[in-house]
Amino acid sequence: MIEQILGQLTQFFQMGNVLLFIILFVFVIIAYKIFQCAVKAVIAGVIAALFPVIAYFMGIPLPAMFAGMSFLSRILWFGFFGVAGYIVYFFATHALKTVRFVLSPFRRLFRSKPKVVNKSIVVKVEDDD
């Protein structure tokens, strides 16, 4: 029984399946991150598309560039701007995280260390005479 398991394990490692599972695992993680980004972009687009509807019911005028458009066109443009704004935000935050990660060794090197002042403790002893 143990020889069978060990034989199957050695056969598994020799066939290159480990690399296949690693690639599959990385693919699943990347697909999940892309799905998360897409869902958040859709939510941002829906929220942004609701803005002209709410502005219409509250009587708030929209900018002049939207003056000649139909109501549906305004909603679509605001939704598009919401999605585009989220995508710009997403890439900017990930670029900033990447730059911080790459430059983190240099920050540790050139970080100013706090000055430690060696203070001696003075205890005042009073005589009870």
| Per-residue pLDDT band at 98 (split at 50, 70, 90) | very high
CA–CA gap between residue 52 and residue 79 (Å, rounded): 10
Q: Report helix, strand or coil for 33.
A: helix
Give the mean model confidence (pLDDT) for residues 28-52.
94
pTM for the full predicted model: 0.63
Comparison of pLDDT for 14 and 55, the residue scoring more? 55
Of the pLDDT bands very low, low, confident and very high (cuts 50, 70, 90), residue 114 is low
> Alpha-carbon distance 39 to 87, whole Å?
11
Say yes or no to pLDDT of 108 above 90.
Answer: no
For residue 122, pLDDT beyond 60: no
Q: Which residues of 31-66 are buried (b: 16+ CB within 10 A; e: fewer)?
A: eeeeeeeeeebeebbeebbebbeeeeeeeeeeeeeb
